[in-house]
Structure 1
Amino acid sequence: MKEHRVGTWTELQEELFAEAWNESIGRFRSSFVFRGVPDASHGLSSSLNRDPGSFADHEKGLLRAFRKYARGHFAPACETVWDWLALAQHHGLPTRLLDWTFSPYVALHFVTEDPAFYGLDGAVWCVDYRETNRLLPDSLQAQLRIEGADVFTADMLAPEARELTAFDRLADHPFVLFFEPPSLDARIVNQFALFSVMNGPQLCLDTFLAKQERGVRRLIVPAALKQEVRDKLDQVNVTERVLMPGLDGLCRWLRRYYSPRPR
């Protein structure tokens, strides 16, 4: 994994859009996905295993209870375990999923959304899914070829793994795949969102990515650059009001936008 500390807004743009040219189609179509964190010390552990002795041993029970009690609220849109996982993650249940985006600017939003972190360096993880796909089990690689796709959907995963136990048995080695959730609401759509998932509730993605020599880089956004990044994102309308449609997002945007600048 490569790590690079950027110094200016211009350099940040160059790094975020590096390797975006796709020679095979003659377009600037990046195969990278992005995840922004406000504190560079934050890793890529999922909410299921972020803290020692937390929820990893209770994954089955958590998901079973969620499916039982949430069914009356959202059952029609959930046909597979992957739909249920996406819905649970979306509403805050501890799962093995991690949120990512196809948009580098959405990732930067989450680096700079909270002024309480402006005194700390942030980071953007950039992962080329073409490279991580090389480590997928043969059956999953075949599914991508059949569909002519680069990332999965819930419908594509279901035939290979109807439940998480079957998914975990697909390979003896750790792997990660990225899948696009169903369009549960406008927030999923506007954030250009997708999830990563690994084949085990105890596995941590940063440990896995640290061993990858290709297709992974981590950009450090210095604390001194955060305010400039935030102001320019506001100018191009990458804000809570857009990414989290509704009154909650509107109020979060107004609260931040009109707050005094941190010293």
Structure 2
Amino acid sequence: MREHRVESWLELQEALFAGSWNEALGRFRPSFVFRGVPDAGHDLSTSLNRQGGAFASHERDLLRAFRKYARGTSSRPCESVWDWLALAQHHGLPTRLLDWTFSPNVALHFLTEDPELYEVDGVVWCVDYRETNRLLPKPLQTQLREEGADVFTAEMLEAAAGDLPTFDRLTKHPFVLFLEPPSLDDRIVNQFALFSVMNGPMLRLDTFLESQKRGVRRLIVPASLKWEVRDKLDQANVTERVLFPGLDGLSRWLRRYYSPRPR
């Protein structure tokens, strides 16, 4: 894993889009996903990890209860455990999923959305999913190859592993894959969102990525650069108003946008 500290907006843009040229396609089509974190000291724990203790042992209980009580409340029917898991994560249930995006600018938004954290360095995690796919169990690699895909859909995962215990037993070695959820609402679409998922409720993605020599980098965004990044994202219309459509997102945007900059 490589770590690089950027010193300017232009250097940040160059670093985010490095390696995006796809020679076979003759297009700028990167195979990276991104996650922006406002504090570079924070790890990649999932919401299930962060609960601590024996909470992860209740993963199946949580999901079973969610499916029981949420049925009929969503406009889009869930057809597999992976649909349900994505829906649960989307609405705040602790799960083993972790939020990512295909968009570098969306990652920068989440890095700079909280002005109270502008005094600490942030980080953008950049992961090449084609590299992490090399470590997938053979059934999952076969699934990707047959579909001609690089990331999974819920339907694809359902065909390979119909439930979490089956998924966890695919191999004894830790692995990560990226799951593109169904378009549950405009928020998923506008955030260009996807999730990472590992084969165990307590596995930590940052621990897994530490040993990866290719396709993983951490871009440190210094605190001194955060205001410039935030202002330029606002000018580019990468805001809460767009990423969280509706009155809640509008209120979040206005509250942050009109917050005075501390002297």
Pair in the same fold by TM > 0.5: yes
Q: How does 1:1-263 map to 2 (within 5 A)?
A: 1-53=1-53, 55-74=55-74, 76-263=76-263
Q: Report the alpha carbon displacement of residue 159 of structure 1 after superposing the two structures with TM.
A: 1.0
Instruction: Tell me which amino acid in the other structure corresponds to 2:56.
Output: A
Mark the runs of 5 or more structure 2 residues left unpaired by the alignment: none
CA contact (8 A) 1:55 1:94 kept: no
Instruction: Tell me which amino acid in the other structure corresponds to 2:93.
Output: L
Q: Report the alpha carbon displacement of residue 57 of structure 1 after superposing the two structures with TM.
A: 1.3
Q: Report the alpha carbon displacement of residue 17 of structure 1 after superposing the two structures with TM.
A: 0.2
Cα distance in 1 between the residues matched to 2:232 and 2:165: 45
Q: Report the alpha carbon displacement of residue 49 of structure 1 after superposing the two structures with TM.
A: 0.8
DSSP 3-state at the match of 1:262: coil
Identity among equivalent pairs (%): 78
DSSP 3-state at the match of 1:208: helix
Normalised by the size of structure 2, how large is the TM-score? Answer: 0.99
Mark the runs of 5 or more structure 1 residues left unpaired by the alignment: none
How many residues matched? 263
Closer, same or farther in 2 for the Cα pair 1:262/1:77, shift >3 Å?
A: farther
Closer, same or farther in 2 for the Cα pair 1:14/1:54, shift >3 Å?
A: farther
Cα distance in 1 between the residues matched to 2:234 and 2:54: 37
Closer, same or farther in 2 for the Cα pair 1:253/1:149, shift >3 Å?
A: same
- Structure 1 residues 199-208 or 66-75, which shifts more? 66-75
Cα deviation, 1:119-175, whole Å, max 9, x if unaligned, reads 010000000000000000001001001110000000000011110000000011000
Instruction: Tell me which amino acid in the other structure corresponds to 1:227.
Output: W
CA contact (8 A) 1:115 1:262 kept: no
Instruction: Tell me which amino acid in the other structure corresponds to 1:216.
Output: V
Cα distance in 2 between the residues matched to 1:111 and 1:86: 22
* CA root-mean-square deviation: 0.9
Q: Report the alpha carbon displacement of residue 76 of structure 1 after superposing the two structures with TM.
A: 4.6
Q: Report the alpha carbon displacement of residue 232 of structure 1 after superposing the two structures with TM.
A: 0.1
4+ residue segments displaced more than 4 Å: none
Cα distance in 2 between the residues matched to 1:240 and 1:3: 28
